[in-house]
C-alpha cells in the first residue's frame, strides 16, 4: 500500500512540474507565432435564381472568413484554396487590427492550398517558416492559431491523431497527404497553420469531419510537404473558379456529350475565368444529399484534354497548365445552354 502511495505521489509531482512548463511553452509559441497569423475576409457576388420557371435573377453579395499565415517578408500569405478561390475581393487582418488588401497569386484547389499577396506588410512582423511534415507522427503535440467563427487569433492545442497518405480519405482531397489532429478546428479555422512545438508550419487546416457541424476532434490539415511541392517548387495557376464534377447519372441528367464535365459554381470577377466570360450557377439544387449550383457553364475540355471526371484529370491537365506563360493561350471547351463552345484566353 505504501509502495502504491509513493508511486501516486511521484506521478502527481511530475504532473505538477510538467504542466506549468508545458503551458509556458505554448504561451511563448503563441506570442512568437500569432503576429504572423491573419484573419482572411473575402467578398463574392453570386447570381441566384429561385426556380427554373423564374427568369428573374438576383445578385447577392456574401462574405467569407478564413485564416492564413505570413510566410515571406514580401507579403505572401499561405491559406486554404477554398477560402479564396472564387473571391472577388480578399483582405487580411493582423493581430493588431491592421487590415491589408490582397490578391490571389497561386492556388491548387485539388490540394486545397493557396497563396495570396498582400499590398503591404506591417512593420516588425516576422513570417513563419515551413516545417518538415514528414517528421510528424501520431502523438506529436501541435497547435492551431486561427479564427474560429471569426474570433481571430484563437489558440487550440492537441496532437497528431493520424497520418493519411494519398487516397487515404474520401472526397476532393483523396489525392494529397493529410495530417489528422484532435486540436479543435471550427468554421473560420480553414487556412490556419497547424504548428509543431517549434512554431513551424507543418500543415494548413482544410476540413473537419463532424455530425454536429462543430469540432468533434477530427480536423484535417494538408501537409507542409504538399504545400512545398504544389505551390513553391512549381507553378500553380489561379483560375478563380469553383466547380462541381458531373459524372455517371449526373452527367447523363445534364445531357453532356461525354462521360463527365466540370459544372462551374462560382467565378471570381477579376480572374482568368472571369475574364474568359465563364458563367457560374444560379440555382441551388440537391441530389443524393449533395448540394450544388446548377445553370452555369460545364467545362468539357482544357488545353485539348477531355475531362474524365476522375483523379487523373489533375495529372493530365495540371502539367499543361504549369507550362503556360505570359502570352500563351488558355483554350477550353464548354457546354452552355445546350451548345458546345470553344473559348480562348490570352494570358497577360
Evaluate whether 7 touches 138 at the Cβ level (below 8 Å).
no
Greater pLDDT, 316 or 19: 316
Active-site residue, from 46, 112, 182, 313: 112
> 203-251: per-residue pLDDT in tens?
999 988 866 676 677 899 999 999 999 999 987 889 999 999 999 999 9
Give the C-alpha separation, 117 to 74, whole Å: 8
306-328: average pLDDT: 86
> 84-122: per-residue pLDDT in tens?
999 999 999 999 999 999 999 999 998 999 999 999 999
Predicted local confidence at residue 199, as pLDDT: 97
Beta strands in 165-224 (DSSP E): 178-181, 193-195, 201-208, 219-223
DSSP of 144-165: EEE-GGG--SEEEEEEEEEEE-
Evaluate whether 232 touches 113 at the Cβ level (below 8 Å).
no
At residue 342, what are phi and psi to the nearest 5 degrees? Answer: -110, 135
Global pTM reads 0.86
Active-site residue, from 46, 67, 82, 152: 82
Evaluate whether 37 touches 145 at the Cβ level (below 8 Å).
yes
Give the C-alpha separation, 238 to 230, whole Å: 12
Helix (H) / strand (E) containing 38: strand 37-48
> 298-315: per-residue pLDDT in tens?
999 999 999 998 777 877
Predicted local confidence at residue 169, as pLDDT: 38
Look at residue 135 and give its three-state secondary structure.
helix
Predicted local confidence at residue 37, as pLDDT: 98
Active-site residue, from 190, 215, 224, 271: 190
Q: Which domains does the chain have, with CATH numbers?
A: 34-118 (2.40.10.10), 133-232 (2.40.10.10), 241-346 (2.30.42.10)
Sequence-ordered list of residues with C-beta below 8 angstroms from that of 161, at least 6 positions apart, any chain: 138, 180, 181, 182, 217, 218
> 282-295: per-residue pLDDT in tens?
888 888 888 899 99
Give the C-alpha separation, 19 to 202, whole Å: 24
What cell numbers appear for 110 in the block? Answer: 485539388
**pLDDT > 70? residue 338:** yes
Predicted local confidence at residue 173, as pLDDT: 45
> 42-80: per-residue pLDDT in tens?
998 766 555 554 554 455 566 799 999 999 999 999 999
Angle at 325 between CA 322 and CA 326, to 5 degrees: 150
112 belongs to the catalytic site: yes
Amino acid at each position: 500500500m505504501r509502495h502504491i502511495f509513493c508511486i501516486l505521489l511521484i506521478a502527481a509531482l511530475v504532473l505538477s512540474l510538467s504542466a506549468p512548463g508545458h503551458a509556458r511553452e505554448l504561451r511563448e509559441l503563441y506570442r512568437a507565432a500569432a503576429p504572423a497569423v491573419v484573419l482572411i475576409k473575402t467578398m463574392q457576388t453570386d447570381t441566384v435564381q429561385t426556380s427554373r420557371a423564374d427568369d428573374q435573377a438576383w445578385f447577392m453579395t456574401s462574405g467569407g472568413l478564413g485564416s492564413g499565415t505570413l510566410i515571406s517578408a514580401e507579403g505572401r500569405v499561405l491559406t486554404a484554396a477554398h477560402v479564396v478561390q472564387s473571391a472577388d475581393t480578399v483582405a487580411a487582418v493582423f493581430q493588431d487590427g491592421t487590415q491589408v488588401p490582397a490578391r490571389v497569386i497561386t492556388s491548387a484547389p485539388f490540394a486545397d492550398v493557396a497563396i495570396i499577396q498582400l499590398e503591404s506588410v506591417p512593420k516588425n512582423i516576422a513570417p513563419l517558416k515551413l516545417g518538415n511534415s514528414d517528421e510528424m507522427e501520431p502523438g506529436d503535440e501541435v497547435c492551431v492559431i486561427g479564427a474560429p467563427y471569426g474570433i481571430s487569433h484563437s489558440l487550440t492545442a492537441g496532437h497528431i491523431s493520424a497520418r493519411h497518405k494519398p487516397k487515404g480519405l474520401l472526397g476532393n482531397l483523396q489525392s494529397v497527404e493529410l495530417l489528422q489532429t484532435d486540436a479543435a478546428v471550427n468554421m473560420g479555422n480553414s487556412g490556419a497553420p497547424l504548428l509543431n512545438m517549434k512554431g513551424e508550419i507543418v500543415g494548413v487546416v482544410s476540413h473537419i469531419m463532424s455530425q454536429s457541424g462543430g469540432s468533434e476532434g477530427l480536423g484535417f490539415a494538408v501537409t507542409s510537404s504538399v504545400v512545398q511541392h504544389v505551390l513553391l517548387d512549381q507553378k500553380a495557376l489561379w483560375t478563380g473558379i469553383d466547380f462541381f464534377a458531373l459524372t455517371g447519372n449526373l452527367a447523363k441528367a445534364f445531357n453532356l456529350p461525354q462521360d463527365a464535365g466540370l459544372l462551374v459554381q462560382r467565378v471570381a470577377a477579376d480572374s482568368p475565368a472571369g475574364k474568359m466570360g465563364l458563367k457560374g450557377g444560379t440555382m441551388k439544387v440537391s441530389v443524393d444529399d449533395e448540394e450544388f449550383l446548377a445553370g452555369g457553364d460545364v467545362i468539357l475540355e482544357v488545353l485539348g484534354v477531355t475531362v474524365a471526371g476522375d483523379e487523373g484529370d489533375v495529372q493530365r491537365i495540371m502539367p499543361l497548365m504549369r507550362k503556360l506563360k505570359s502570352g500563351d493561350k488558355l483554350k477550353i471547351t464548354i457546354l452552355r445552354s445546350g451548345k458546345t463552345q470553344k473559348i480562348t484566353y490570352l494570358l497577360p
